[in-house]
């Protein structure tokens, strides 16, 4: 028994040591811990600038706030845009009551039960302010003939002050962003991670990691990157991307909506995709029908290089930035790929590192094989 305990502790310490010396894990940690609701993506953009500065040229921020850069330009090769968004689902301060409570509206799609009883931060010009979404104690509600439905309309943020003036003294005003107060965590020494904002920071990390691996590789396509803003606010930022990139192909990266766990709201949806089965190739979603030629291309890549993958279709309440470029100019070839994630649009998402690694591998294989002939074949 003692030997088994020592062996377990040795294995656990080895895993922890590996995690502590993993630059990719630290990148994911930095990106997910950063606070950046729609319209307030600055902290995330600063990380992206630093990470991309020696991988891309011509890094610039457009008037929307999108960060755009190029691996090389003017080669005449097919122009491939890798795109993912920087913002996370958030709330926005609507008003401050005379007692100092903060009332808010949602930016992005939330369901009410995940909002209450949680810790948040308000991003103010003076710094981050902590608050709690309060609700009556069980000592009170136990006597109700029927507990009222939890509704965002009744919710408020308690920041520990006693008046509107005290709240304003902390730098709070209407229009500021409210985001979950959550730190990245490796779950119990496993290959699975817990964090806020995997949507869409895990995709940003995948783009950076892919570019790092291909830094000294000569490619048959020009690679561009767009880290976009306000995706959670009707995909506003991506509208401005086409004019400054004019890509032939757009590979948009997102989270997949993992469902293989005990569902609270079982319905006709399948239990797939699931964690540990590879990245997802979207065959359609509520905002876009992808280019079928790209679906076939990525499918063949995955089969050829034995990369696990899953098909995904999300027709309910799912949209992504790729749709904004698909109809731009004279039309653009677009596909959306996902990294399966549980509990998206809540404080705590969970994903598996292997799905991230296989997404990076899929992107590597795509960028090292895609050329002019492949581009021409997309139209067939």
Q: What are phi and psi of 147, to 5 degrees?
A: -70, 130
Percent pLDDT > 90 in the chain is: 81
* Radius of gyration, alpha carbons of the chain: 22
DSSP states of 85-116 as a string? E--B-EEEEEEE-TTS-EEEEEES---GGGTT
Residue 95: Cβ within 10 Å count: 12
Q: Which of 51-60, 62-71, 143-152, 181-190 has the lowest mean pLDDT?
A: 143-152
User: In whole angstroms, what is the distance from residue 11 CA to residue 185 CA?
Assistant: 18
User: In whole angstroms, what is the distance from residue 334 CA to residue 289 CA?
Assistant: 9
User: In whole angstroms, what is the distance from residue 184 CA to residue 322 CA?
Assistant: 27
The 3-state secondary structure of 114-129 reads HCCCCEEEEEECCEEE
Bridging pattern class, strands 222-228 and 79-85: parallel
pLDDT tens for each residue of 251-292: 999 999 998 777 776 665 666 799 999 999 999 999 999 999
Spell out the domains of the chain, with CATH numbers in brackets.
17-88+196-377 (3.40.630.10), 90-180 (2.40.30.40)
Q: Which of 169, 167, 168 is nearest to 159 (CA)?
A: 167
Please say whether the beta carbons of 311 and 372 come within 8 A.
no
Q: How far is CA 217 from the centre of its chain?
A: 27
Residue with tokens 């506003």: 236
Q: Assign 315 a pLDDT band (cuts: 50, 70, 90).
A: confident
Give yes or no for residue 233 having a pLDDT over 80. Answer: yes
pLDDT tens for each residue of 2-48: 554 555 555 445 444 456 689 999 999 999 999 999 999 999 999 99
Q: Assign 220 a pLDDT band (cuts: 50, 70, 90).
A: very high
Kindly state the average pLDDT of the residues 99-119: 94
**Tokens matching residue 69:** 């850069």
User: In whole angstroms, what is the distance from residue 155 CA to residue 153 CA?
Assistant: 6
pLDDT value of position 76: 92
The H-or-E segment that residue 186 falls in is strand 185-186
Task: Decide which of 323 and 6 is more confident.
Answer: 323
Residue 349: Cβ within 10 Å count: 23
**Tokens matching residue 127:** 């710094």
User: What is each CA distance from 279 to 10, 118, 180, in whole angstroms?
Assistant: 31, 30, 26
Q: What are phi and psi of 15, to 5 degrees?
A: -65, -45
User: In whole angstroms, what is the distance from residue 239 CA to residue 87 CA?
Assistant: 15
**Greatest CA separation for the chain:** 72
Those residues with Cβ within 8 angstroms of residue 186's Cβ, 6 or more apart along the chain or in another chain: 19, 25, 192, 193, 194
User: In whole angstroms, what is the distance from residue 172 CA to residue 178 CA?
Assistant: 11
Mean pLDDT, the chain, rounded, equals 92
Q: What are phi and psi of 134, to 5 degrees?
A: -85, 160
Give yes or no for residue 209 having a pLDDT over 60. Answer: yes
Please say whether the beta carbons of 178 and 93 come within 8 A.
yes
pLDDT value of position 178: 98
pLDDT value of position 269: 61
Could you tell me the pTM of the whole model? 0.92
Paired with 61 in beta bridges are 67
């Amino acid at each position: 028994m003692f030997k088994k305990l020592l062996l377990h502790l040795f294995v656990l310490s080895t895993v922890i040591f590996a995690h502590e010396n993993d630059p990719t894990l630290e990148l994911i940690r930095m990106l997910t811990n950063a606070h950046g609701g729609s319209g307030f993506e600055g902290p995330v953009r600063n990380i992206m600038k630093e990470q991309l500065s020696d991988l891309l040229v011509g890094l610039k921020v457009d008037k929307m706030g999108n960060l755009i850069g190029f691996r090389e330009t003017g080669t005449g090769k097919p122009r491939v845009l890798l795109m993912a968004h920087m913002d996370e689902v958030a709330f926005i301060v609507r008003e401050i009551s005379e007692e100092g409570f903060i009332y808010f509206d949602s930016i992005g799609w939330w369901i009410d039960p995940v909002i209450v009883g949680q810790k948040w931060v308000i991003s103010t010009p003076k710094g981050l302010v902590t608050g709690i979404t309060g609700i009556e104690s069980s000592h009170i509600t136990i006597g109700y003939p029927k507990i009222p439905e939890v509704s965002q309309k009744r919710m408020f943020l308690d920041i520990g002050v006693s008046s509107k003036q005290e709240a304003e003294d902390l730098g709070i005003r209407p229009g500021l962003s409210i985001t979950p107060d959550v730190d990245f965590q490796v779950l119990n020494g496993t290959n699975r991670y817990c964090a806020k904002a995997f949507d869409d920071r895990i995709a940003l990390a995948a783009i950076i990691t892919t570019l790092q691996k291909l830094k000294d590789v000569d490619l048959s396509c020009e690679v561009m990157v767009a880290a976009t803003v306000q995706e959670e606010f009707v995909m506003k930022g991506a509208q401005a991307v086409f004019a400054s990139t004019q890509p032939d192909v757009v590979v948009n990266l997102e989270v997949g909506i993992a469902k293989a766990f005990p569902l609270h709201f079982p319905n006709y949806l399948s239990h797939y995709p699931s964690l540990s089965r590879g990245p997802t190739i979207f065959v359609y979603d509520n905002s876009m029908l992808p280019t079928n030629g790209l679906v076939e291309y990525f499918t063949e890549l995955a089969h050829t290089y034995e990369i696990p993958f899953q098909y995904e279709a999300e027709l309910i309440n799912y949209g992504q930035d790729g749709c904004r470029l698909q109809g731009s100019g004279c039309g653009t070839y677009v596909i959306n790929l996902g990294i399966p994630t549980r509990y998206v649009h809540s404080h705590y998402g969970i994903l598996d590192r292997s799905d991230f690694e296989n997404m990076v591998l899929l992107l590597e294989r795509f960028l090292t094989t895609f050329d002019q002939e492949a581009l021409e074949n997309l139209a067939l």
